[in-house]
Structure 1
């Protein structure tokens, strides 16, 4: 059995154990935390057992173990059974409101508060806006992955190579350096990689008030795709090869949590063949077409301009820090310790990582570009819905 099938089967088994049976969900029902109190407590016990089993793991450098699969399944199961529901329709939330300086004049402002246990965030119709998966990566794996970043330390870029006209915006756009340790070992900066992207200047913009595309933008819809320059470097390609088995497992997790997004990403990776001008062939290991490595930097408050509402980001936290991940649109302060994975609708939810108190922060940020999907004629994914995810997993044999 491959990892994705094994993960799905284990999540299904844990959910059936948590419910005590194979539950039936009526169409349109959004299950709240109050509905799921008893199965959530059972899932918490299963998570504790999975964590205890991995107290002294024998992890492999080049493969994911069955115990890691079990840990991931336990975290995902708990998150499914710990939903926070915001009382607005996400489609209406993303509709342009040219006169609205504050979206929450029109929508109730959620106040989720502090999160430190696996959870999901849904809109009123059960659409998944956030998967919060703390502790899904074991400490020993965190250490192995963090150490691999030393090989690309010299490739990190600490400032944008494109000098903005307004110098005051450099740090706002690129992130402030933050290293609250005496002798940081992982460096500072970021590196971006993609097997198929537009040149950095490519941008299709429009005014929400006029909804008018410029002629220049229309012409650039047919620009050629390029492989990112970072993938020409031996160190970057070697690093990608070394973490490929982990990236593929993270894609398996995406298949369980956001199946249609994973479908769209896989189609893009396949469709890019022959469409990338300067391609130096490599085995791209992720369903996400863009990976950024960010080391010892704050992340300014922002939304993901080049994405689409249903193209959720995947953020992986490594290193040794104690940072928080802030989502003010949800009123959420999320503990973002190493070993955490977050899937986030970053196109519509502003988010940031401010200064932290100790240690070094490494983030592996995965995302997709809506215009790349459009260029390769791959349809946008639909929203993942709570009851569909639960029904699909529970129907697994």
Structure 2
């Protein structure tokens, strides 16, 4: 993530609280806003599941910016019993490595590796299989090309994991029920104005917020919009191209963020698709089921 400074008078922003799609004048889809996408019972199930990750979440919180601004303790609600920010990915290039070097290969992130005692994270992935299938299905509607290429990338990763005898990746793939190859879990965390750095600028990241907390807005200064960010809301947008922020809230809140990485698609030789366009959606709807 890239921390940025934004100075804006939010009193002039449009306030959005009903389902919406933001499109530019050329028909490019910039953002999907889906409030109340999940029932209260399902939201509670998702929130309760995060208790299984309490240890890695707590360990992620650092003082004095030791782990970068994303893990800075100042960004977490002090009184919260559960807080932290962790990444989970089945394919991640270590710093300084990439697909341009044939000897470099992506790896499963540490929290998912067997040697790190990954039982809790594996159990969490397995318990959230239904959620990840729903969010993947939503992406199939919101950005059909990205969904297809993401699915192809996972299929290629499966074949390569077998060929390279990557036991960690082979163990995670059967319970990785998301078309996205990476996700971040942020619990009781406020988000200063920033852009994300891991995704491709024209791709859609998917964000889900759950919990019990005071009224909150998801703010996108460049669009002059703030979206009511009630529990159960899904937002899909390019976090790498649009500055966004979420203030702190009283109560308990978690954000689950899903994204794909450009270098992983390059590694498995999958095309880097363009951004979503309103005509893509119209074509899919007109075509109907295959």
**Which TM-score tier does this pair reach, normalised by the shorter chain?**
0.7 to 0.9
Q: Which residue among 270, 279, 288 is the counterpart of 2:169?
A: 279
1:224: which partner in 2? Answer: 105
Q: Which residue among 288, 295, 300 is the counterpart of 2:192?
A: 300
Aligned partners of 2:218 and 2:228 also within 8 Å = yes
> Which fold has the larger relative contact order, with Cα–Cα distance below 8 Å and residues 6 or more apart in sequence?
2
Q: Which residue among 259, 264, 267 is the counterpart of 2:152?
A: 267
Aligned partners of 2:61 and 2:84 also within 8 Å = no
1:254: which partner in 2? Answer: 139
Matched, 1:132 2:22: no
Deviations along 1:173-227, one digit per CA (max 9) or x if unpaired, are: 43534337x6x45x1102211111112x2477xxxxxxxxxxxxx9658521101
Matched, 1:288 2:180: yes
* Partner Cα distance (1:331, 1:174) in 2: 28
Matched, 1:355 2:248: yes
Matched, 1:155 2:56: yes
SS in 1 for 2:207: strand
* Partner Cα distance (1:222, 1:115) in 2: 48
TM-score normalised to structure 1 length: 0.62
1:158 is displaced (CA, Å) by: 4.9
* Partner Cα distance (1:297, 1:279) in 2: 29
SS in 2 for 1:226: coil
Summarize the alignment of residues 192-211 of structure 1 with structure 2, pairs less than 5 Å apart: 192-199=87-94, 201-202=95-96
Q: Which residue among 200, 203, 214 is the counterpart of 1:311?
A: 203
1:123: which partner in 2? Answer: 24
1:306 is displaced (CA, Å) by: 2.6
Matched, 1:375 2:272: no
Quick one: structure 1 residues 387 and 152, their matched pair in 2 at CA, closer, same or farther if it must change by over 3 Å? same
1:179: which partner in 2? Answer: 77
Summarize the alignment of residues 47-86 of structure 1 with structure 2, pairs less than 5 Å apart: none
* Partner Cα distance (2:66, 2:124) in 1: 31
2:281: which partner in 1? Answer: 389
Aligned partners of 1:177 and 1:189 also within 8 Å = no
Quick one: structure 1 residues 264 and 256, their matched pair in 2 at CA, closer, same or farther if it must change by over 3 Å? same
* Partner Cα distance (1:393, 1:222) in 2: 43
1:287 is displaced (CA, Å) by: 0.6
Structure (1 or 2) with the greater strand fraction: 2
* Partner Cα distance (2:219, 2:59) in 1: 23
Q: Paired residues, what number?
A: 267
Deviations along 1:335-389, one digit per CA (max 9) or x if unpaired, are: 1111000101111101121222x21111111011111111111111222211331
Q: Please say which structure displays the higher CA radius of gyration.
A: 1
Q: Which residue among 322, 326, 348 is the counterpart of 2:219?
A: 326
Aligned partners of 1:310 and 1:380 also within 8 Å = no
Quick one: structure 1 residues 152 and 269, their matched pair in 2 at CA, closer, same or farther if it must change by over 3 Å? same
1:172 is displaced (CA, Å) by: 3.0
SS in 1 for 2:22: strand
1:84: which partner in 2? Answer: none
Quick one: structure 1 residues 127 and 143, their matched pair in 2 at CA, closer, same or farther if it must change by over 3 Å? same
Aligned partners of 1:202 and 1:220 also within 8 Å = no
Q: Which residue among 183, 188, 191 is the counterpart of 2:86?
A: 191
Aligned Cα RMSD in Å? 2.7
* Partner Cα distance (2:60, 2:49) in 1: 22
1:170 is displaced (CA, Å) by: 5.2
Deviations along 1:128-166, one digit per CA (max 9) or x if unpaired, are: 1100111111111101111111111122155478x9xxx
* Partner Cα distance (1:301, 1:169) in 2: 20
SS in 1 for 2:169: coil
